Structure 1
Amino acid sequence: MILFPAVDIRGGKCVRLTQGDYNKEKVYSDAPTEMAKEWQGKGAECLHIVDLDGAKTGESINKAAIQAIAEETNIPVQVGGGIRSLSVIEDYVASGINRVIIGTAAINDKKFLMDAVEKYGSKIAVSIDARNGFVATDGWTKDSTVKAIDLVKDLEAIGVETIVYTDILKDGMLKGPNFEELQTINDATTMNVIASGGVSSKEDIHKLKNLNMYGAIIGKALYDGTLKFEDVLDGEENAR
């Protein structure tokens, strides 16, 4: 299972939100690139980058900062947040981004998603952000009437290979992921499932690995010191 340290960017700074609430923000660094290089130095195999401004506005506001991370690190980087055009995907791929994550547009613009998957294949992933089993959009600020499990089936039919599944109510709470929901999603699809939201202990990571998750994103627990990435990585190595 791949462990992805998260680097969430808002206003050019590395921040964390609680349950996706833009009014509950904590700034951890004024230099996202340096934070990304720090996780690489601690042994990260991949990085998960989110443009929080982009997720809310639909514009890739922090694109330059994200491209700088791709250029100054030498591990795979996946990026999400406000990606709603093929030109933005092209810019990211050209700058060395390994995987581009489509979120809101996967709900609101299926043709765009299909075109992206047709053109870029495995470089496209979809973020499913769910609240009480229903998909949320626009930086988690809007709830849809689409059930997460139904979206999973649609995405697989389109040809998406990887999804990032986040239970919003678990995100930033340091109380563990929604294991039951994650198992339901993973059992319902052959796509790679990356778990996100609430991962806060070695036990959480071992449980996710036992559920055969493709990957897990770790955010607030790393920044608050609840988890040390080196310790988690050692545990993963010993378990292999």
Structure 2
Amino acid sequence: MILFPAIDIKNNQCVRLCQGDFERLKVYGKDPVLMAKTWKERGAEFLHLVDLDGAKDEKLINQDSIEKIIKTIGLHVQVGGGIRSKKRVEKLLALGIERVIVGTIAVENKKLLKELVDEYKERIVVSIDARNGKVALRGWKVISEVSSIELCKELEQIGVKTIVYTDISKDGMMMGPNFHIYEALSKEVNLNIIASGGISSIKDIYRLKNMNIYGAIIGKALYDEKIDLKEAYRCLQEE
């Protein structure tokens, strides 16, 4: 199981949101590059970066921070946030990013998604952000009528191999993830599932691992020191 420390970037600062609400934002550091270095020193091999300005307004405000992390930290990196064109995907992959995460186009432009998956294979990851089982779009601002499980089935048919699934109601709340949805997804699709939202303890990580979940993104629990990353890796290795 892969652990992905999350670095959410807004205005080139490291922040966290609660339930995707930009009005409930907390700054955890003014240098995302330094934060990336911190997680590397604590054992991280893969980072999950989110360009929040890109997700909300499709702006490239945080490009410099993302480039510096790629060029100076030396870890595997996946990046998401406002990536809705092939040109943007190509630019990010050219930087050396291992995986690009797309979301909105998985609902609004399946033709483009299929083109990207056919060309870039497993380097294209789809983010499924949902509230009450319905897919959220455009930085979580729009809740569609699309069933998240049915969308995952469609993605598998298109050729997607990996998804990031976030229950928005759990995100940043430190109350544990939605285990029920991950169990349901494991039965319905044969995808690499990266769990995101609400992971607040090593116990949560163990439970996801025992469900054979591919990966887990950890955000607020790391920043609020509820999970020690070194300890989390050590415990997983002991199992």
- Pick the TM interval, shorter chain: over 0.9
Q: Which residue number corresponds to residue 199 of structure 1?
A: 199
Q: Which residue of 2 aligns with 1:85?
A: 85
CA-to-aligned-CA distance 1:63-101 (integer Å, 9 cap, x gap): 221121111121210000000111111111111100000
Equivalent residue pairs, number: 239
- What SS is found at the alignment partner of 1:160? coil
Could you tell me whether the CA contact under 8 Å between 1:67 and 1:97 is conserved in 2?
no
Q: How many angstroms apart in 2 are the aligned matches of 1:162 and 1:144?
A: 22
User: Contact between 1:59 and 1:83, CA under 8 Å: does it hold in 2?
Assistant: no
Structure 2 CA distance for aligned equivalents of residues 120 and 72 of structure 1? 24
Q: For residues 21 and 98 of structure 2, what CA distance do their matches in structure 1 show?
A: 28
Question: In structure 2, what is the equivalent of residue 210 of structure 1?
Answer: 210
1:107 corresponding residue in structure 2: 107
Contact kept? 1:45, 1:75, Cα under 8 Å = yes
Render the CA deviation track for 1:86-139: whole Å, top value 9, x for unaligned.
Answer: 111111111110000001111111121111111111100000001000000111
CA RMSD of superposed structures (Å): 0.9
* Residue in structure 2 matched with residue 163 of structure 1 by the alignment: 163
Q: Secondary structure at the match of 2:135?
A: strand
Identify the range of structure 1 (183-192 vs 125-134) with the bigger mean alpha-carbon deviation.
183-192
Q: Compute the TM-score of the two structures, normalised by the length of structure 2.
A: 0.98
Q: Give the drift of 1:225.
A: 0.9
Partner of 1:189: 189
Gaps in structure 2 of 5+ consecutive residues: none
Q: SS in structure 2 opposite 1:169?
A: coil
| Alignment partners' CA distance in 1, 2:64 and 2:189 | 34
Task: Describe the SS at the equivalent of 1:16.
Answer: strand
Name segments (4+ residues, structure 1) moved above 4 Å.
Answer: none
- What 5-or-longer segments of structure 1 have no aligned partner? none
Can you list the C-alpha shifts for 1:195-237, whole angstroms capped at 9, x where unaligned? 0000010110000001100000000000011111111111111
Deviation at 1:58, TM superposition (A): 2.6
Distance 1:61 1:85 in 2: 17
Matches of 1:42 and 1:172 in 2, distance apart?
21
Paired amino acid for 2:177: P
Aligned partners of 1:47 and 1:201: how far apart in 2?
Answer: 19
Opposite residue 214 of structure 1, the aligned amino acid is Y
Q: Work out the CA distance in 1 between the residues paired with 2:141 and 2:203.
A: 30
Q: Which range moves more in the overlay, 129-138 or 57-66?
A: 57-66
Supply the distance in 1 between the matched residues of 2:161 and 2:168 (Cα, whole angstroms): 22
Contact 1:60/1:82 (<8 A) preserved: no
SS at match of 2:169: helix
Cross-structure match for 1:173: 173
- Structure 1 CA distance, aligned partners of 2:183 and 2:66? 31
The answer for the alignment partner of 1:47 in structure 2 is 47
CA shift digits 1:18-52 (9 cap, x unpaired): 01100000000110011011101110120000001
Residue of structure 2 in register with 1:238 after alignment: 238
Task: Evaluate the alpha carbon distance shift between residue 132 and residue 6 of structure 1 in structure 2; reply closer, same or farther with a 3 A threshold.
Answer: same
Equivalent residue for 1:65?
Answer: 65
Q: Cα–Cα, structure 1 residues 110 and 59, in superposed 2: closer, same or farther, change >3 Å? A: farther
Match of 2:37 in 1: 37
- Deviates further, 194-203 or 102-111: 102-111
CA distance in 1, matches of 2:60, 2:232: 32
In structure 1, how many angstroms separate the alpha carbons of the residues matched to 2:105 and 2:209?
Answer: 29
> What secondary structure sits across from 1:170 in the alignment?
coil
Q: What is the Cα deviation at residue 59 of structure 1? A: 3.4
Q: Distance in 2 between matches of 1:191 and 1:156?
A: 7
